[in-house]
Structure 1
Amino acid sequence: MAAAYTIRPYRHRQDTAAILRLIRRELVPLSHTPIGREALTDRALTARIRQGRTLVADGQDGEVKGFVHFMVTSRPNVPALLQIDMLAVEPDSRGQGIGSALLREAELYGRSRRCTAASLFVDEGNDRAHLFYLRAGYRAIQYWPSLRCRELYKPLFPDI
């Protein structure tokens, strides 16, 4: 059976409104971190999306079904790290492998940039996301009480 979605790079004019809706509807309500109004403006969120890389899952109808935003961070004498910043899938599109496909593509990108591992944060209480990442091979390495988040980590080259 063919996938009912396609993963492609973010297109600013075409995708921004749908991604902003997903962020505000699916991610912001789960966050315990105080978020200033300035950080939630269209301008600030769009600027954040444009930093790093964003991939979008399109449905057969051409509608955005989900997205992942990630960055490669590197410092001198430290291996590069893939930082998964945001991943969200429309509620009516969950369970179709979209989130897993988006995460796989982000990890492939990280490997192509010689990232040795991937890291991300999951908000306390977001058990669905926590289980999703555990099934994808991530493990909790630290709890950040000030953020009320778990930090998860996955080696991208496990045999090295």
Structure 2
Amino acid sequence: MSQPQLVPAIRRAAEADLPAIVHLFSIPDEGNAKTDHPGPPLDPRYREALAAIAEDPNNALLVAEVEGRVAGAFHMTIIQYVANRGARVAQIENVIVDPSLRGRGIGEAMMRWAIDEARRRGCFRVQLTSNKARLRAHRFYERLGFVASHEGMKLKL
């Protein structure tokens, strides 16, 4: 029997949300090695990063809140291009939903919010990367209309 769908409120993350967000980022997921540690104490670099994100109008760490609890999070950055006649692209990263709440519409609500915000901000494309090991996540993104059109590469520093 499926669980009822939840309707989260999507909003910018606040400093008080950081322990819950970092906890979500620390949960192992489909072969993704995690290096975040929720503490306590919470590493001050998380607060510094959130402050820097909050100062940038083209950057946002967002949370999905359900019944006063952080149920998911994602990072969205608006990239200004010179190519494509100065078009904008929305980049989505670090998408996470509390494993105990998956399959209840939270991830879809976050992505639909991001897509709507990208349109509102004049973006011509929404793009994201996902670890190759996250096959369930890939099926989720494809169901929302995303296409695996490019091969991504990373260089660890």
Please indicate the TM-score interval, normalised by the length of the shorter structure. 0.7 to 0.9
Q: Is 1:18 the equivalent of 2:24?
A: no
Give the 5 Å matches for 1:1-160: 4-26=6-28, 30=32, 42-50=43-51, 51=53, 52-60=59-67, 62-76=68-82, 77-144=85-152, 146=154
**Structure 2: unaligned runs, 5 residues or longer:** 54-58
Asked if 2 retains the 8 angstrom alpha-carbon contact of 1:79 and 1:115, the reply is yes
What RMSD, in angstroms, separates the aligned Cα atoms of the two structures? 2.9
| TM-score, with length taken from structure 2 | 0.75
Residue 97 of structure 1 aligns to which amino acid in structure 2? G
| Greater relative contact order (Cα < 8 A, sep 6+) | 2
- Percent pairwise identity: 27
SS in 1 for 2:100: helix
In terms of fraction of residues, the more strand-rich structure is 1
SS in 1 for 2:117: helix
Asked if 2 retains the 8 angstrom alpha-carbon contact of 1:31 and 1:123, the reply is no
* Deviation string, structure 1 residues 12-53 (Cα, Å, up to 9, x no partner): 232111111111215696159xx7x9xxx8444444445211
Distance across 2 between alignment mates of 1:58 and 1:123: 25
Residue 55 of structure 1 aligns to which amino acid in structure 2? L
**Structure 1: unaligned runs, 5 residues or longer:** 148-160
| TM-score, with length taken from structure 1 | 0.74
Residue 69 of structure 2 aligns to which amino acid in structure 1? E
Distance across 1 between alignment mates of 2:87 and 2:154: 27
